[in-house]
Structures are given as structure tokens and as C-alpha cells.
Amino acid sequence: MKTLTVELAERSYPIFIGSGLLDQVDCYRPYIRGNQVFIVTNETVAPLYLERLERALAPLNLTVGRIVLPDGERHKTLAVLETVFDGLLREHHNRTTTLIALGGGVVGDMTGFAAACYQRGVNFIQIPTTLLAQVDSSVGGKTAVNHPLGKNMIGAFHQPVSVIADTAVLATLPDRELRAGLAEVIKYGLIADEPFLGWLEEHCDRLLARDGNALAYAIEVSCRTKACVVSRDETEQGMRAILNLGHTFGHAIETEQGYGDWLHGEAVATGMLLACRLSGAMGWLSDGDVQRVARLLQRCGLPVAAPAHMTADIFLNHMALDKKVTNGKIRLVLLRSLGEAVVTDEYDAVALTHLLNE
């Protein structure tokens, strides 16, 4: 087991990475302060792992509640979130309860938001069951639900008390979800670690084949990078925004297509290539750099073109609701070089419009 730490003074917390951690009671014991636990999962993950988690918790003699949510990004709504509060209140959970998110990014985001709101804030533990959640959404304390007009527009910063990334659960992950998770892994190489990008090019096939050692290393490097950024800028006042490479474009695709048609990682992959192409148009990346990124995304089975009907106007209308918009101007995460990201509103607007119309 590898242990990393997100350094946030008195709110610091560990990220445990390893195989078989779901069954290890010692991964839970220090992070549950009361005698109540409430597990939030979904209808896909529950048949696979819910009973195993409950067995792992049994030696702690807790009162354990549960709720099984519908699966999918389209259910990441305030209406579904309210059912979590219904369960907590119906079972009389108090301020010392601990929520446990057992699932992918949607479950993690909704559980974290519920924990942020319930009785003005209770503890929660992240047990991410998808690659995307293990390398990205489970770490950093961003919690939210979607609105029909914009993704993740209603939420709060609320850090977990621990993250338990069991690499063994990735064995049941559908291939499409695995590929979507690789988009976020590639992101870390692009924004901060060009040598890791080279490692991904060399070991892409091993990752797609679910080689345990390769996956564990990719998760560790990704989480270490994110933990470092979050520790320096918890609430995204500055540099943390580099973690959103490709997301402004990607969220526009998700919102336009209807949540769930494109997986988040698929939309981010296309968005990252758009960001690279704009960086190239500004003279920051070479044509070779852009093609290098496109080849890696394609090798991982990820889309590199937006839906054909999405014009610049459609993109920009959605992008105007991005959380990085300041004083009416869209800020973008671009690359000055592979491995060096920057957040800027000083880009060529004509080149952006031309790129999106292509």
C-alpha cells in the first residue's frame, strides 16, 4: 500500500493506494469518529461491493445506513441529492455521522456535497471505484451537482477525511470507463510532468490491459500531482485551475449533449486537444507537440473531435457559464509547453473562434 497526504494543516488527509484495501478495517477505523455511518453508492456498484464494505465495517460495531442511487451523470441533480438527505434524516443521523462514497465521480461528488450541507458539515470518506475518480475527482474536496444550464455549478469545497483507492476494483470497470479515466491521467503529464507523459506513451498498452503495477503507478503519480496542487491552492484562487485543462471545452460538450451521452473523461480528452491546438495557434506548442498529444489520446481509444454540430457560438454560449469566467471574460487553461500549464484570458479570440468552427 502507498500512502500520500494532502497537506491542509489540521484538515490534512491520507490517500491510500493499493490492492484489496476495500476489505481492510484499519483503513476505516481512524477516520470514523461517531457510531454512525451512511454509505452512498449506486445501482451498478452496489451489487459488486456494497456487502463487502459492510463486512469490512462490521468489527467496528457501527450503525450502518445505506442508499443506492441511480447510476449516471444525468442523475447528478438536486432532486437525487435530496434523497440522500431523506435517508440521513429518516435514520436519525447526527453531526458525528460519517458518510462513505462508494462509487465513481458522480457518487463521490454527490456524497461530498451532502456531507458539506448536512447539519452544516459532517465527515466523509471517499472509496472511488473508477479510474477517473481514483486519479482525480476523489481528491481535492470539490463537490457539486449539475444544473441543466451548466455542469457542477451548484456545490461546495468540502475535503474528505480519507481516500481509499483500491486498485483491485478496477477489474470490474467497463473498458469505456477505463479509457475515460486515462484522459485525466494524461492531463497530469500535460500540465506538470512531461516525463510522465513519456511514461504514458511507453506504457499505454499495459494500462489498457489493466496491468496492476502500471495502474498503481499511474494512480500514484496522478494523486501526488493533484495533492501538491490542492495543498497550495485549496479553493482554486489561482494555480489549482490548471487541473481544469480541457474542462472548459469538455463541460460545454457534456452540457450540450446532455449529461451522460459523453463520459466526462471523453469530453475532457477532446477538450484537452482543443486546448493544445489553441496553444499551438499561439506559438506555444509545435505541430509535433499537438500531434503527439492526439496520438496518445487516440491510442487510449479517446475521442479527439467534438460533435459535428457544435459551432463556435454553441461552445462559447456554454463556456460563458464556466466557473473560471472573470468579469465576463472566459479564462482558459493552455500549455506554454508540454508539462507547463497556464491559466489565461490573453489568448487569440479569433483563433479560438476559428478552431471551434472547425
- Active-site residues, by number, are 120, 142, 184, 226, 236, 240, 244, 247, 251, 264
Alpha-helix residue ranges (DSSP H) falling in 134-193: 175-192
What are the beta bridge partners of residue 50? Answer: none
Of 86, 119, 220, 121, nearest to 165 by C-alpha is 220
- Please state whether 337 falls in left (phi above 0), alpha (psi between -120 and 50) or beta: beta
Query: Cα–Cα distance between 338 and 239 in angstroms, integer?
Result: 17
> What torsion do the CA atoms of 154, 157, 159, 165 make, to the nearest 10 degrees?
50
As a whole number of Å, the end-to-end CA separation of the chain is 46
The secondary structure of residue 285, as a DSSP letter, is S
Of the candidates 29, 164, 178, the residue with the CA atom closest to the CA atom of residue 108: 164
Count of CA atoms in the C-beta half-sphere (13 A) of 286:
3
**Closest-CA residue to 130 (of 58, 49, 32):** 49
Q: Decide if 161 contacts 15 (C-beta within 8 A).
A: no
